[in-house]
């Protein structure tokens, strides 16, 4: 009995998505930028550029550099800030049926709490993704995401003030990512998303200086896919909340790998720059895979490689 119309729906906590394909924060603007290229209503969820309480200017240029099958970015979390996000960016997204997930960042636990509180009032904000892992910002020293106690504290703070699903986005720049995942699960996260970018750098041998003004930047793109996939596997072995896989996903095959490793959903990042239609193509291609393999529901893929 052939599967004609495979079921693509997945859940992240109480959030129900029509399919598991999301856009990764910082790679899809505020959605509007891609409106002429992608049918936004087809996406599983839209995650917008990370928002802080106050606007941020970001790092001086040069902010990006290309590497083998990847890119480095040191945007420095430039963003319009909470208020302008609500007044200028949210109205457009209100009209899109796709659930909106807002990525938030802060310098202190209190920052995160305030963001959570205010965004909890906006019904359109279906979930928060808490960025505890950005390696670009020099302030505050060690990133929240590299220490289980700090990661726990931020998660707990956001959890208290936001009633809908809280997704915590993990940093790969750690010895043991499962330890961090466990800490945020315990603090009440509904899901984890991983990975954020891997800390890297590049040097211009003509000028003799780092290519990025910030010296270090975050590596993303196909180059990091094997690392991301391994971390999803490790986290899946240790937590029971849903995992959203991120890192170098460019094709339906890549997305399926992440589901087989244990992810319930995936995000497409850098690939949006190269192939703006990638998210649509991935949704379509995942459906084809299910049909060809006669699998009734995409949920049947989750973690399958770990159980065979």
Partner 1 sequence: MPALQQKAEIIRSEKLTDDICRFTVQAPDIAADSRPGQFVMVRAAEGMDPLLRRPFSIHQVRDGGLLQILLKVIGKGTQALSKMQVGQHMDILGPLGRGFTYNSKHHHYLVGGGIGIAPLLFLAKQILKKNEPSTINVLLGARAKDEICTLVDDFAGMGLEVKVCTEDGSLGKQGLVTDLMAPLPDENPAMVYTCGPYPMLRAVVGVCRDKNWACQVSLETIMACGLAACLGCAVLRADMNGYVHVCKDGPVFNADDVAWL
- Binds a copy of itself by CB under 8 A, chosen from 74, 128, 261, 278: 261
Residue 220 binding ligand FMN, by CB under 6 A: yes
Tell me the window of 2-10, 11-19, 53-61, 219-227 that interacts with ligand FMN (CB under 6 A).
219-227
How many other C-beta atoms can be found within 10 angstroms of the C-beta atom of residue 108? 14
Residue 264 binding ligand FMN, by CB under 6 A: no
- Closest to a copy of itself by CB, 112 vs 233, is 233
Residue 85 binding partner 1, by CB under 8 A: no
Name the nearest CA neighbour of 58 among 42, 80, 31. 80
* Residue of minimal Cβ distance to ligand FMN: 26
Compose the 30-69 pattern: x for residues touching ligand FMN by CB under 6 A, - for all others.
-------------------xx-------------------
Residue 227 binding a copy of itself, by CB under 8 A: yes
Measured in degrees and rounded to the nearest 5, phi and psi for residue 300 equal -70, -15
Whole-number Å distance between alpha carbons of 130 and 50? 9
- In the block, which residue shows the tokens 């965004």? 119
Compose the 88-117 pattern: x for residues touching a copy of itself by CB under 8 A, - for all others.
------------------------------
248: left (phi over 0), alpha (psi -120 to 50) or beta: left
303 token code pair: 């973690």
Answer whether 10's CB lies under 8 Å from 19's CB.
yes
Q: Spell out where 158-292 has E strands.
A: 166-169, 191-194, 198-200, 203-204, 209-210, 217-220, 243-246, 265-268
How many other C-beta atoms can be found within 10 angstroms of the C-beta atom of residue 226? 12
Answer whether 79's CB lies under 8 Å from 104's CB.
no
Which parts of 185-214 interact with a copy of itself (CB under 8 A)?
198-203, 205, 208-210
**Is 134 noted as a catalytic residue in this protein?**
yes
Residue 28 binding partner 1, by CB under 8 A: yes
- Binds a copy of itself by CB under 8 A, chosen from 35, 54, 215, 274: 215
Tell me the window of 33-41, 104-112, 171-179, 229-237 that interacts with partner 1 (CB under 8 A).
33-41
- CA of residue 306 relative to chain centroid, distance: 23
- In the block, which residue shows the tokens 């394909």? 21
User: Do strands 100-104 and 70-73 pair parallel, antiparallel, or not at all (unpaired)?
Assistant: unpaired
Q: Which residues are catalytic?
A: 134
Residues that bind a copy of itself (CB under 8 A): 67-70, 72, 146, 173-175, 198-203, 205, 208-210, 215-217, 219, 221-227, 229-230, 233, 248, 253, 256-257, 260-261, 289, 304-305, 308
């Amino acid at each position: 009995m052939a599967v004609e119309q495979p079921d693509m729906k997945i859940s992240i906590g109480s959030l129900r998505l029509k399919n598991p394909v999301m856009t990764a924060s910082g790679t899809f603007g505020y959605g509007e930028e891609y409106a002429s290229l992608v049918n936004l209503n087809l996406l599983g969820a839209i995650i917008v550029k990370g928002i802080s309480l106050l606007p941020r200017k970001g790092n001086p240029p040069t902010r990006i550099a290309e590497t083998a099958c990847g890119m480095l970015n040191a945007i420095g979390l430039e963003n319009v800030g909470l208020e302008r996000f609500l007044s200028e960016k949210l109205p457009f997204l209100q009209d899109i049926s796709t659930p909106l997930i807002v990525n938030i960042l802060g310098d202190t636990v209190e920052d995160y709490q305030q963001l959570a509180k205010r965004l909890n009032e906006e019904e359109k904000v279906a979930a928060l993704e808490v960025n505890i892992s950005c390696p670009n910002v020099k302030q505050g020293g060690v990133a929240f995401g590299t220490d289980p106690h700090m990661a726990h504290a931020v998660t707990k703070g956001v959890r208290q003030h936001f009633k809908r699903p809280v997704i915590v986005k993990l940093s790969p720049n750690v010895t043991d990512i499962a330890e961090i995942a466990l800490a945020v699960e315990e603090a009440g996260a509904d899901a984890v998303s991983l990975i954020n970018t891997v800390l890297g750098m590049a040097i211009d041998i003509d000028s003799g200086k780092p290519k990025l003004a910030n010296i270090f930047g975050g590596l993303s793109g196909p180059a990091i896919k094997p690392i991301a996939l391994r971390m999803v596997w490790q986290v899946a072995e240790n937590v029971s909340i849903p995992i959203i896989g991120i890192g170098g996903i460019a094709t339906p095959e890549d997305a399926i790998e992440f589901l087989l490793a244990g992810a319930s959903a995936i995000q497409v990042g850098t690939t949006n720059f190269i192939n703006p239609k990638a998210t649509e193509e991935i949704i379509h291609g995942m459906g084809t895979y299910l049909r060809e393999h006669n699998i009734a529901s995409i949920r049947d893929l989750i973690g399958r490689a770990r159980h065979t």
